[in-house]
Amino acid sequence: MQNVKKINQVTYSKIFFYFLICFAVSVSIIFFSLSFGGKFINPFDFFAFENSVFMSLRLPRVLADFMVGAGLSIVGCSFQTFFRNPLADPFILGIAGAAAVGVAFSLFLGVSGFIPTQILSLSFALVTIFFVYWAAGGLSSVTANSLILVGVGLNFFFTSIITFFNSVLSESFTKDLLMWYLGSTVFLDLNIVILSLLIVIVLSAVLYMQSGKLNVYLLGESFAVNSGISIKQFSLIIYITGSLITSVSVALCGAIGFVGIIIPHIVKIIAGLDHRLNMILCFFAGGSFLVIIDTFFKTVFFPYEVPIGAVTAIIGTPFFIYILRRRI
């Protein structure tokens, strides 16, 4: 038990203090980022009735940035411990590929409108969640390694399907699919974004409730079993909750990669290994990170739209290689 105490060094009063600080900083970043874009908007004019730019474009975009960054970061933090792989991210299980196939399928069927496409994308992702769990052995024999193996296989399968759709769809549809796959938070409905944000917050809270068990699991599966943790129940909660957060994020904004790798590693370097603190820091740091870089690029490169997923890939690839080199 001494090993667990070494990880659980942060008191709950300090964790609550860090939560309040992170919450205040994140709200401030969101608030000030709403002013920037193609045109500067005075904060006192945010909720002016005639300011449709703010309500229809900027507010949904900034909230979506925060939601995706926060959700993918906390999932990445838990997945890296659960799969015992520092390169594990929320997309390792094929969820993003399934959502992309849902978008491609909607384009192939000629489905019009953002909401029907999003529903179809989310449906494909949800079906894949349960298929992966079933194929990996289900409640009887599922393991972290079996989940990864099934996920990797499905990623190849979904990539092949997307390649097929790219071959048969028209050029305009192919461009739409590419833009979605690169990840974008532009032109989103505010009501849908708020609903998605609330879902991600609730699921993140469920995931955070496993933080103490993740600390124990960090010391080895056998140690966790001897400590009284039900590995099957624990695995099911981590997998299902993390996958649902990923599904909601991807269905709304596309595949925005590397956030779930970069942020957890930076947080662990700064704050240590205690998941009770790390998962809070990952949530707020990931959300703020995506808000900041999207605000920067949409302001500097206006009137051009740079897919946020392309930006995170440019930033994340060198970091990914650095982590890989450290392991070698």
**Closest by CA position to 311, among listed 185, 200, 163:** 185
Residue type, 125: A
Asked, for residue 82, whether it belongs to a domain, the answer is yes
Q: How far apart are CA 236 and CA 129, in angstroms?
A: 11
Asked, for residue 35, whether it belongs to a domain, the answer is no
pLDDT in tens, 7-33: 666 778 888 999 999 999 999 999 888
pLDDT in tens, 250-277: 888 888 888 988 999 999 988 888 899 9
Asked, for residue 28, whether it belongs to a domain, the answer is no
HSE-up (13 A, CA, CB side) for residue 151: 23
Give the CATH number, domain containing residue 323. Answer: 1.10.3470.10
Q: How far apart are CA 173 and CA 300, in angstroms?
A: 28
Q: How far apart are CA 257 and CA 97, in angstroms?
A: 12
Asked, for residue 175, whether it belongs to a domain, the answer is yes
Q: Distance between the two ends of the chain, CA-based, in angstroms?
A: 31
Asked, for residue 40, whether it belongs to a domain, the answer is no
Asked, for residue 258, whether it belongs to a domain, the answer is yes
Q: Per residue of the chain (328 residues), give pLDDT as tens.
A: 555 555 666 778 888 999 999 999 999 999 888 888 767 777 666 666 456 666 777 889 999 999 999 999 999 999 999 888 887 888 888 888 888 888 888 877 877 666 777 788 888 888 988 888 888 877 667 777 788 888 888 888 988 888 887 777 777 677 777 777 778 787 788 888 999 999 999 999 999 999 999 999 988 888 888 888 888 889 889 989 998 999 888 888 888 888 988 999 999 988 888 899 999 999 999 999 999 999 998 888 877 788 888 888 888 888 878 777 776 5
Residue in the block written with tokens 């707020």 = 284
Which residue range is the domain that position 92 belongs to?
A: 2-18+52-327
Q: How far apart are CA 60 and CA 69, in angstroms?
A: 14
Asked, for residue 42, whether it belongs to a domain, the answer is no
Residue-wise over 160-196: b if at least 16 C-beta within 10 A, else e? eebeebeeebeeebbebbebbbbbbbeebbeeebeeb
Asked, for residue 216, whether it belongs to a domain, the answer is yes
Domain count within the chain: 1
